[in-house]
Amino acid sequence: MLEQQPDSCQSRAGGASMSGISGKVVAITGAGSGIGEATAVRLAARGASVVLGARRTDRLTALAGRIRDAGGHAEAVPTDVTRLEDLRGLVAAALDRFGRLDVLVGNAGIARTAPVADLDVEGWDAMIDVNVRGVLHGIAAALPVFREQGRGHLVTVVSTSGLKITPTQAVYAGTKNAVRTLLEALRQESTDGVLRTTSISPGFVKTGLADHINDPTTREQIRQRMRTLGLEPDAVARAVAFAVEQPDDVEIGDITLRPTRQD
């Protein structure tokens, strides 16, 4: 069985305020594996209804089944974040199935690392499409719903890439810093109490992020570092849960987490 944790809902003058995780409706992109999968499992265990979005439908269906078998609530929605209509479909599925959307966790991302001089234009385009445009599509789909509801939370997984600039990660870090800038500007535009934004920047995590790297030597080097240094994906899921469980008048703007042995 999924372990239920105590959460609470509160009311305050001027409208309802929800704290905790139990009862919230959370959509998650990149939910088929890694951080997205761990986040779905953890939030569902604490009583959230989760709407799972990813391209690999077999993994989504299996994950949704595991959550339901454990007593949780989950819906699987095939989602390619580079398509705005898919993000609108993910949000619509939350509304149709659970009546609202409280949180959108933007987790989908890809990494292609190589020196800029390699001119991997195809890789650059792919990272821009997924890492930047995918986040923008999520905002475009969810923000009108949050405004109509009077409450909503964007939790976006960024990266420690960009906080520390390193060779071969110029474009990848650039996409992450673009998102970091975007969310900070959106936060400043949204101080009416309706929208919360949280950026979560993990360091090395044991995920399949390196699978998108074309160069086999670089790919294996990063995989090895993930195996020896990487955090378990649930470490990031716990950070997501911490941000989500805060009362509506508390915004956790930025969380950076990394292995203690990461330089």
Cβ neighbour number for residue 68 with a 10 Å cutoff: 14
Q: Which helix (H) or strand (E) holds 26?
A: strand 25-29
Q: Which residues, at least 6 apart from 205, have a Cβ–Cβ distance to it below 8 Å?
A: 34, 35, 226, 230, 231, 232, 233, 235, 236
Whether the CB-CB separation of 89 and 96 falls below 8 Å is answered with: no
d(CA 112, CA 124): 8
| Residue in 86, 172, 226, 239 annotated catalytic | 172
d(CA 120, CA 112): 9
d(CA 207, CA 256): 17
172 is catalytic: yes
Whether the CB-CB separation of 121 and 168 falls below 8 Å is answered with: no
Q: Which residues are catalytic?
A: 172
